[in-house]
Amino acid sequence: MSGAAIPLACSGNWPYLNPMVQPISTQVRMMAAAPRQSRVASVIVWSAAGLGAAAVLGAAALWFHYGTTVFFEMIAAGISACF
């Protein structure tokens, strides 16, 4: 790398360079409050979370009841039945 600086823009191009050297505003702008989620969207999200939790709890219950070997055989049979 050479020690000479390479200009990014021609020094005679002031209409281009002037807007780029404006000071950055330090004022903190208040952001508008985000609109509240609709009740329907909240119900859908909580229902999906509940369904996922029920599936995980059901899988854990099968695992503890039947053991790992039978559990994996049941999962493999279920997957092969779907395809």
Q: Give the model confidence (pLDDT) of 14-65 as tens digits.
A: 666 666 666 666 566 666 666 666 888 888 999 999 999 999 999 888 888 8
In a domain, 2, yes or no: no
In a domain, 73, yes or no: yes
CA 7 to chain centre: 40
**How confident is the model at residue 62, as a pLDDT?**
82
- Domain range spanning residue 61? 55-83
Cα 8-13-16 angle, rounded to 5 deg: 80
pTM of the model: 0.43
Query: Which residue has tokens 């000071």?
Result: 23
When divided into structural domains, the chain yields a total of 1
List Cβ<8 Å contacts ≥24 apart for 74-77.
Answer: none
Phi, psi of 35, rounded to the nearest 5 degrees: -65, 145
In a domain, 5, yes or no: no
